[in-house]
Amino acid sequence: MRGKMKKIVLSGIKPTGIPTLGNYLGALKNFVKLQNEMKDYEFFIFIADLHAITVPQDPKELKQNIKNLAAIYLAAGLVPERTTLFVQSEINEHAALGFVMQSISYMGELERMTQYKDKMQKQVQGVSSALFTYPSLMAADILLYDAEYVPVGDDQKQHLELTRDLAIRFNNRFGETFVVPEGLISEKGARIMDLQDPSKKMDKSSEGERGCVFLLDPLSTIKKKIKSAVTDSEAQVRYDKDNKPGISNLMTIYSLISELSYEEIEEKYTSRGYGDFKKDLAELVAGEIEVVQNRYREIINSGKLDALFDQGKEKAKVLAAKKLHKVYKKIGLGRY
Ligand code: AMP
Ligand code: TRP
């Protein structure tokens, strides 16, 4: 067992482009909240750069995105005293255990992954085999550290279920080795939708940028995007996800930032139109992101990032190496 080590909560984000308001509300803000609340747990949050290259990346941009995401993690409120921060590719054990996980994953179960099917449809040419085996690598990321909880957005639910299946399968075949993790998917904010097309999730890679708020957008752009979000013709601020997806999505964003409930928001805007509501929401979102951006600028220019990530790497490496050794031994790989 892990001796004195606390139980672990782990998650990661891909350094592809600038994180969005969806990443912030569905993942980052949640990581920070949990970090501050779950005092009995230790947090491991990493930059999933190996996952990023499952679709083509420009090397210079990728490097910059890794730095940006590192700074954004800290700017959002993750603190190194509570959270071990590291870069996935700096710990070779991820790729190695990823291969082991591939060897116990079935084609059929990987073929069922909806994220793969979606991406496959969008990218007609040159779909990499790594895009297909991506969930096996994600399972390795989690199982390497015996994580008990994995906070993610709704789109990762299926990958987490696969991770659980693989952990159980491995344990059954080779003996108790992995902790079977649980997803922590918040009820609200797990799926922030595109501001222009609320039937799609807000996504870094979506073509129309107007529907997607990026955390490093100028504040004036952020406000403009919120104010021009698609709503409906009823002109009543009321939460009804099925019939009023646009305004309901905006209410979710409002609620997560202001901590008001849907009922309280409805009451506040009973006799006021969408214009007022959106104006207030634009200020709320810009206000919250402004704080993150200010801290981001300080951090990215401070030169502190490297030392922090070196520290994280060292700590993660010890656990990862130990676990991989155990796995190899159980399977019969190598000579030891
Ligand atoms: P990614 O950028 O795909 O690496 O996603 C990083 C984290 O953000 C994952 O936990 C996702 O589930 C979450 N996420 C991404 N997009 C959204 C969204 N539109 N709403 C809520 N969570 C999201
Ligand atoms: N696949 C996740 C995403 O696209 C990112 C990720 C990779 C991850 N490995 C992980 C999340 C392990 C949680 C745990 O959002």
Q: Which of 75, 21, 77 is nearest to 296 (CA)?
A: 75
Task: Enumerate residues lining ligand 2, CB below 6 A.
Answer: 10-12, 14, 48, 51, 138, 141-142, 150, 152, 156, 159
3-state secondary structure of 24: helix
So what's the pLDDT on residue 54? 94
List the single range of 20-24, 77-81, 117-121, 131-135 with lowest mean pLDDT: 117-121
d(CA 332, ligand 1 centre) in Å: 37
| CATH level 3 topology of 219-296 | Tyrosyl-Transfer RNA Synthetase (1.10.240)
Q: Distance between CA 315 and CA 311 in Å, rounded?
A: 6
Is residue 26 within 6 Å of ligand 1 at its C-beta? yes
Say if residue 33's pLDDT is above 70: yes
Percent of the chain residues topping a pLDDT of 70: 97
Say if residue 1's pLDDT is above 50: no
d(CA 230, ligand 2 centre) in Å: 30
Beta carbons of 20 and 214 less than 8 angstroms apart? yes
So what's the pLDDT on residue 255? 97
Percent of the chain residues topping a pLDDT of 90: 88
Whole-number average pLDDT of the chain: 95
Q: Which of 7, 157, 188, 204 does the annotation list as catalytic?
A: 204
Say if residue 336's pLDDT is above 80: no
Ligand closest to 31 (CA) is 1
Cβ-based neighbour number of residue 12 at 10 Å: 25
pTM over 0.75: yes
Mutation probe of ligand 2 site: the residue of 8, 10, 13, 55 with most atoms within 8 A of C-beta: 13
CATH 3.40.50.620 fits 2-185+302-331, yes or no: yes
Beta carbons of 73 and 35 less than 8 angstroms apart? no
Q: Which of 7, 119, 157, 188 does the annotation list as catalytic?
A: 119
Can you tell me which atom of ligand 1 is nearest the CA of 20? 16
List the single range of 138-147, 204-213, 253-262 with lowest mean pLDDT: 204-213
Please indicate whether residue 201 is annotated as part of the active site. yes
Per residue in 224-254, pLDDT tens?
999 999 999 998 999 999 999 999 999 999 9
So what's the pLDDT on residue 2? 47
d(CA 16, ligand 1 centre) in Å: 11
Domain segments of the chain as ranges: 2-185+302-331, 219-296
Q: Distance between CA 257 and CA 260 in Å, rounded?
A: 8
Q: Which of 15, 11, 179, 257 is nearest to 265 (CA)?
A: 257
Please indicate whether residue 119 is annotated as part of the active site. yes
Ligand closest to 160 (CA) is 2
So what's the pLDDT on residue 4? 59
